[in-house]
Amino acid sequence: MKRMIYVSASLVIVFILSQLIMSYSLNKIENPSYIVLKDFGDFEVRLYDSMIMANTPLSNNTYEQNANEGFRRVASYIFGQNEREEKIAMTSPVFMEMGNSPSMSFVMPKQYNRQDLPDPTVRDVELVTVKPMRLAVISFSGYANDEKIAAYRKKLMGLMIKNGIKPGNQHYFLGYNAPWQVIGRKNEVAIEIKEETNN
């Protein structure tokens, strides 16, 4: 009996330590550059710099059906399925575009220009340069699913309209954690901000 208690306690300690290490490691992973244009408390308006992304198209915009397949496909590029068999550092978050053209993307580390990156050899992955984006962003914790993403998208859209910000057509899920990380999970839903046009 004492042995079982000792083993159980040891496993709990190992689990907690592994989760703390993953949380610490996440803080060391490179994130894309942005500035907060305005913090509304419940959400932020951010201006993201131009980014180079390894991008793969998805068959539809449901998170639960596409997340694993999209992640594996685009991760294979940075793990060496490219013309130089070069490993590229992972960044965070993973961008999942959930609008008219669903896709999943990894942001390339800032040290690279487009010409420095090897071309993908994995099917349905390409390197794209994304122009600067103005996004309204709301955060939530825990594991993500389609219901949560839809609920936070609806909440964010309502907050944008309430504050006089026009939502655009594209929206994104931003995932920051590996599936096996339980403690300290971070997720975001982002909606593009419609640019004002002067006629």
CATH number of the domain to which 125 belongs: 3.20.80.10
Does residue 199 sit within a domain?
A: no
Domains identified in the chain, total number: 1
Axis-axis angle for helices 63-78, 146-162 (nearest 10): 90
Does residue 198 sit within a domain?
A: no
pLDDT of residue 22: 44
What sign for the dihedral angle of Cα 47, 102, 172, 143? negative
pLDDT of residue 147: 95
pLDDT at 190 over 80: yes
- For the segment 14-58, what is each residue's pLDDT rounded down to a tens digit? 334 343 344 444 456 899 999 999 999 999 999 999 999 999 999
pLDDT at 165 over 60: yes
pLDDT at 8 over 80: no
pLDDT at 122 over 50: yes
Does residue 72 sit within a domain?
A: yes
Q: Evaluate whether 176 touches 195 at the Cβ level (below 8 Å).
A: no
C-alpha distance from residue 78 to each of 29, 104, 185 (Å)? 14, 14, 23
In three-state secondary structure terms, 89 is coil
C-alpha distance from residue 119 to each of 71, 105, 143 (Å)? 18, 15, 33
Does residue 73 sit within a domain?
A: yes
Can you give the residue range of the structural domain that contains 94?
A: 2-193
Does residue 111 sit within a domain?
A: yes
Which pLDDT band holds residue 81 (cuts at 50, 70, 90)? very high
pLDDT of residue 60: 81
pLDDT of residue 155: 97
User: Burial, 89: exposed, middle or buried (Cβ in 10 Å; 0-12, 13-18, 19+)?
Assistant: exposed
Closest by alpha carbon to 188, among 60, 31, 4?
Answer: 31
| Least confident segment among 34-43, 150-159, 181-190 | 181-190
For the whole model, what pTM was predicted? 0.82
pLDDT at 113 over 50: yes
pLDDT of residue 7: 42
